[in-house]
Amino acid sequence: MTTEAEERASDPPAPILTRYVNLCDKYTLTIEEAAAYFGIGQKKIRSLVQTHENDDFILHVGVKVLIKRKKFENFIDRSSEV
């Protein structure tokens, strides 16, 4: 007779579920993702975050900075240069 712990140990491991989301489907982007998506350097994105700290395309999650993709697209559309 086997114990409950032994039965659980013999069960196959649960599959690890991973979900990949395309950048164009994400609501927010990291600095690195935003740089890749918009074709703008990471330094320039960081500079824009600093100079437009109160704009609505920036989201602070603790110390992490995220870019709201659609709002940043609108910001770029309204800008003549970045």
pLDDT at 82: 86
Helix pair angle (42-51, 31-38), 10° resolution: 110
Task: Tell me how far apart the alpha carbons of residues 66 and 63 are, in angstroms, rounded to a whole number.
Answer: 10
First vs last C-alpha separation in the chain: 71
Q: For the chain, list residues with pLDDT below 50.
A: none
**H or E element in which residue 65 lies:** strand 64-68
Q: Write down the pLDDT at residue 36.
A: 96
Determine the pLDDT at residue 21.
Answer: 86
- How high is the mean pLDDT of the chain? 88
Q: Give all domains of the chain, ordered by start, each with its CATH number.
A: 4-78 (3.90.105.50)
Rounded to two decimals, what is the model's pTM?
Answer: 0.74
